[in-house]
Structure 1
Amino acid sequence: MSVTAAAREMGVSQSAVSKQIAALEAEVGAPLFTRHHREIRLTWKGEELLKVTSASLSAMASMLRNIRERSIDKVVTIGASMTLSHFWLLPKLPQFRDSHPEVTIRVVSQETPVPLEDGAVDMVIRFGSGDWTDGRVQPLMKSRIQVMATRRLIERYGPIETAGDVLRLPLIAYDAIDESWTSWNDWAHEAGIDAVAPPALSFNRYWDALQAAAAGQGALLVWSGLTGGIEENGILVPLPGPALIPRGDFYLVTSDLVSKSTRHATLRDWLLEQAHN
């Protein structure tokens, strides 16, 4: 080995390396190197010290790696829109936690897109065309949109036998998150209806609109799978007219960490299974 080469690799001067060697030998109390022309060689004491030091550093590196992995692996953070989080994700999480109590989950809910690049979340559920490039994209679920209302509202304004009859009901609208969301005008177009009266009620959040519909205040374009049990419990019933297929699907987008972490992969696989079932 060469002091010059070592200095170059460490980015310091040759004299700095020589001083460090001298200081180490003084600390040990024995020569660790023999000097030859343009090179130095380890003495037998130096060889023995190198073996112990290498083993110790290797063990330390392994331990640090395990600590980092356990720290990263401890909490699984998933992002979703407030609507999907409230009506689809959160109702399912108790079942997952019963089966996997060792996994700690953090949910980040917001209506603006949740990015993966900044590391704030490990995986995110998104609605769209699936053409994102910031992670692994896997189809999660499809949805359909149908007009629904309470039985009491139908009885009050009935009979409701055609799509045209639906428009006699007060209509409830909600703000679209993006242009791919379906509006009453989209529904009317599919139903062959030229014009739709302005909604009687309008909300900036889907879940508020859903609660209003469940309270009998009007008819609503309801997304399947995003009803929080209201549809399943018979509170809302479907009305005549077309069932629309949204201009997008729900996808699970995961970061590279998910494939390296057992806990992250467990939640990912479970979510995909739940959606496909």
Structure 2
Amino acid sequence: MPHRQCQCRDREGKSCRIRSIQAKCPIMVRRYYNLPSLIALAAFEAAARHLSLTKAAEELNVTVGAVSKQIRMLEEEVGNPLFLRRHRALELTREGETMAAALKEGFERISSTFRQVKTSGGQSSVTIGCTMAMAHLWLMPRMSAFWGSHQDIAVDHVISDHPRGLDRPDIDLRLRYGNGEWPDELSARLYDDRIFAVASPAFAREHAVETLDDLAQLQLLSVEGMDWSWTTWADFFRELGCPNRRLNVRRFNSHVIALQAARSGQGAVLGWASLVRPLIESGDLVQLSSAEIAAPHSYFVTWSARRPLSRQAGLLRDWLLSLDD
């Protein structure tokens, strides 16, 4: 059997010195699961999730060129392009979508298992995510009851007002406002809600509101720009049968900050009953008029459809569902 030079190269680019094809080249030995480079898979998964090489590079703390190189190597090994390179944009091919879905599910399972193993020798933990307003005004006032009866479970919190800020594999449960349907998530409804105008007591005394016309003429504080499932003042008046009004609106991308502005007398803000009830009971805010609407969406607790909940996460979910709003 003839001898010939092995054509592979090591990570430093040096040619392999094994000359007999009867010997096993250590570089060419495949991994047990016949997988490509895990570095390349991680680079592709990040780029597919962001649809951006730049954002993937920022997440992985490497250069854009390094991410691009890893993806090219992966595409060569797969034998098909995984991205369509548009002008200043990336688009997944059919093969890329298949790979991205498989990697997302796999990495989520690995992340969940890692955290379970990591904490198995100590206190069990559950991570729950929600918006700042939901955490501050609804969840936190209730959590002491759960901690009191489940002192062996540590609850970690991830707070984000960004629509995609809770799409992280390390979050077990999410409290979401919407129609109950989110990709790759199961959901259970917590409660429905009502929406009405609130303001500080001082503002209410200075601005008597007897009609919708009175309300429409006030300085209105609106939460817009982050999550368009959130009801705006225009939506509110339209639902009450009074569309096309000229409104004096100041916009915020945080409900907590808009509520703080209202508490300091800067205007009227729309309040979801479940969130503003503590502020009304404390006297910080008052309901300006009897006009109110049913919230177009409900609040849900959600969890991944791709992996089972831990016993601890299941306990927290069931406890949340047992609450009477």
Using the size of structure 1 for normalisation, the TM-score is 0.66
Residues 65-104 of structure 1: pairs in structure 2 closer than 5 A: 70=120, 74-104=124-154
Contact residue 127 and residue 171 of structure 2 kept, 8 A: yes
Q: 1:70 to 1:150 in 2, by over 3 A?
A: same
Query: Which structure has the larger Rg over C-alpha atoms?
Result: 1
Query: Unmatched 5+ residue regions in structure 1?
Result: 1-10, 12-65
| Matched residue, 2:170 | 120
* Per-residue deviation, residues 221-273 of structure 1 (Å, max 9, x unmatched): 11111127102223322223531223321111123432x41x22221111111
Q: 1:168 to 1:119 in 2, by over 3 A?
A: closer
* Per-residue deviation, residues 39-89 of structure 1 (Å, max 9, x unmatched): xxxxxxxxxxxxxxxxxxxxxxxxxxx967835981101111222122211
* Per-residue deviation, residues 93-113 of structure 1 (Å, max 9, x unmatched): 122112211110110111233
| Matched residue, 2:285 | 236
SS of 1:243's partner is strand
* Per-residue deviation, residues 128-156 of structure 1 (Å, max 9, x unmatched): 11122423211112122101122321221
| Matched residue, 2:13 | none
Higher relative contact order (CA 8 A, sep 6+): 1
Contact residue 130 and residue 174 of structure 2 kept, 8 A: yes
CA RMSD of aligned residues (A): 2.6
Identity %: 30
Question: What is the alpha-carbon distance in structure 1 between the residues aligned to residue 321 and residue 186 of structure 2?
Answer: 13
SS of 2:294's partner is coil
Aligned length: 207
Give the residue type in structure 1 aligned to 2:231: T
Residues 1-277 of structure 1: pairs in structure 2 closer than 5 A: 70=120, 74-112=124-162, 113-114=164-165, 119-158=169-208, 160-193=209-242, 194-199=244-249, 201-227=250-276, 229-240=278-289, 242-255=291-304, 256-258=307-309, 260-261=310-311, 263-274=312-323, 276-277=324-325
Give the residue type in structure 1 aligned to 2:142: K
Q: 1:107 to 1:67 in 2, by over 3 A?
A: closer
Q: 1:138 to 1:191 in 2, by over 3 A?
A: closer
Using the size of structure 2 for normalisation, the TM-score is 0.57
* Per-residue deviation, residues 167-201 of structure 1 (Å, max 9, x unmatched): 232211222432221111112223333313222x3
Runs of 4+ in 1 over 6 A off after TM superposition: 66-69
Query: Unmatched 5+ residue regions in structure 2?
Result: 1-31, 33-115
